[in-house]
Amino acid sequence: MATSVEAQITGSVWKIEKAAGDEVREGDVIMILESMKMEIPVEAPVSGRLSEIRVAEGQSIDEGAVLAVIG
C-alpha cells in the first residue's frame, strides 16, 4: 500500500536528501523545506521504498501538497 508524504507547511523545497528507489526507514529525512528562513525536515512516516519524488529543489509548495510516495 502506498503512503503519501505531504508538506506540513507552505514554502519551498530547499534540499532533497533521498532519491526515488531508495529504501527509507520511518523517521529518515527525505527532504528539507524552507519557510520564512526556517528549515523544516520532512521525515518518512513509514519504512519502505521511496517510489516517487514529486517535487524539485527550489520548487514552491503549498501545505498538504504530496511531496513523495513510499510503497
What are the residue ranges spanned by the domains of the chain? 3-70
What pLDDT digit, counting tens, does each position of 20-65 carry?
A: 999 999 999 999 999 999 999 999 999 999 999 999 999 999 999 9
At residue 32, the pLDDT reads 98
In words, the CATH class of domain 3-70 is mainly beta
Buried b / exposed e over 16-52, threshold 16 CB at 10 Å, is bebeeeeebeeebebbebebeeeeeebebeeebebeb
- C-alpha cell at position 69: 510516495
Listed residue (9, 4, 7) closest to 68, CA to CA: 4
The pTM assigned to this predicted structure is 0.91
- Cβ(51)–Cβ(69) under 8 Å? yes
